[in-house]
Amino acid sequence: MGTNASLAVVGHVGPGFSEGAMAAPHALAALAALGQPTRLSIFRLLVRKEPRGLSAGALAEAVGCPHNTLSTHIAILARAGLVKGTREGRTITYRADAVGTRALIGFLVTDCCNGRAEMCGLAGTMPDAECGCPPAPEQKKKRKR
């Protein structure tokens, strides 16, 4: 599948961000996605499990959610640009989407202190800031037989 493996897992792509900026409709979608208790739990757990993420089965077990319901929650979070999935053989590993998360945080704090977020210490949360997370481990590609 190559570099677009995450697109094959989630049949839709989250919002596009121009230079890390998130538009108000995308921010509303992300906040609405996080406004449901199970989805908030899923997102927070995936953030804690960075950079490796969690398999769908482990994620469903951890949040106590049936697999079919988990799929619906993941789809909503993915459309909001907060979660992405990667297929590894027969397993799907889900991770928090750092780009979408930083874009949402940036949207929320961009006008802090009259547009000068550095005054209140929020400058490090802006979309162009590095998150400090190590990159996801490289996955071994399996050859088809």
The model's pTM is: 0.73
Average pLDDT of 36-59? Answer: 95
Look over the chain and give the mean of its residue pLDDT values, rounded to a whole number: 78
Between these two residues, 47 and 126, which has the higher pLDDT value? 47
* pLDDT for the residue 45: 97
Of the pLDDT bands very low, low, confident and very high (cuts 50, 70, 90), residue 115 is: confident
Torsion of CA 73, 77, 80, 85, to 10 degrees: -120
Mean pLDDT of the region 2-27? 58
How far apart are the C-alpha atoms of 32 and 45, rounded to whole Å?
18
The larger pLDDT score, comparing residue 107 to residue 83, is at: 83
Q: What percent of the chain stands above pLDDT 70?
A: 68
| Residue 73 near residue 64, CB atoms below 8 Å | no
Per-residue confidence (pLDDT) for residue 9, from 0 to 100: 42
Among 49, 48, 56, residue whose Cα is nearest residue 85: 56
Give the pLDDT confidence score for residue 120 in this predicted structure.
Answer: 73
| R_g (Cα) of the chain, nearest Å | 16
Ordered by where they begin, the domains of the chain are 19-97 (1.10.10.10)
Distance CA 20, CA 106 (A): 8
Q: What does the pLDDT average to over 94-107? A: 91
Q: Which two tokens stand for residue 60?
A: 């469903």
